[in-house]
Amino acid sequence: MQFKGRDIVSIKDFTREEIDYILKTAAAMEPIAKSGSDMLHGKILATLFFEPSTRTRLSFEAAMNKLGGTTIGFAEPKVAAIKKGENLADTIRVVENYADVLVLRHPLEGAARLAAEFSDVPVINAGSGAEEHPTQALLDLYTILKEKGTIDELNITLMGDLRYGRTVHSLAYALSLYKVNLFLVSPEILRMRREVSDAIKKRIKIVEGTEVGEVLPETDVLYVTRIQEERFPDPAEYAKVRGTYKIGVATLQDAKEDMIIMHPLPRVDEIDHEVDNTRHARYFQQVWNGIVTRTALLALILGAKK
Active-site amino acid positions = 55-56, 84, 105, 133
Least Å distance between CB 129 and ligand NCD?
10
Least Å distance between CB 223 and ligand NCD?
11
Could you say which of 43, 106, 133, 305 contacts ligand NCD (CB under 6 A)? 133
Q: Which residue, 106 or 166, is less far from ligand NCD as judged by CB?
A: 166
Tell which positions 264-303 bind ligand NCD, by CB under 6 A.
264-265
Least Å distance between CB 286 and ligand NCD?
8
Residue 200 to residues 148, 176, 205, 234, 241: CA-CA distances in angstroms? 22, 6, 8, 28, 26
The closest residue (CB) to ligand NCD is 264
| Dihedral sign, Cα of residue 100, residue 104, residue 109, residue 111 | negative
Q: Which residue, 133 or 282, is less far from ligand NCD as judged by CB?
A: 133
Q: Which residue, 128 or 181, is less far from ligand NCD as judged by CB?
A: 128
Is 108 among the residues that bind ligand NCD (CB under 6 A)?
no
Q: Which residue, 119 or 136, is less far from ligand NCD as judged by CB?
A: 136
Is 57 among the residues that bind ligand NCD (CB under 6 A)?
no
φ, ψ (nearest 5 deg) of residue 55: -65, -50
Q: Which residue, 58 or 82, is less far from ligand NCD as judged by CB?
A: 58
Least Å distance between CB 42 and ligand NCD?
28
Least Å distance between CB 12 and ligand NCD?
17
Residues that bind ligand NCD (CB under 6 A): 55-56, 127, 133, 136, 166-167, 225-226, 264-265
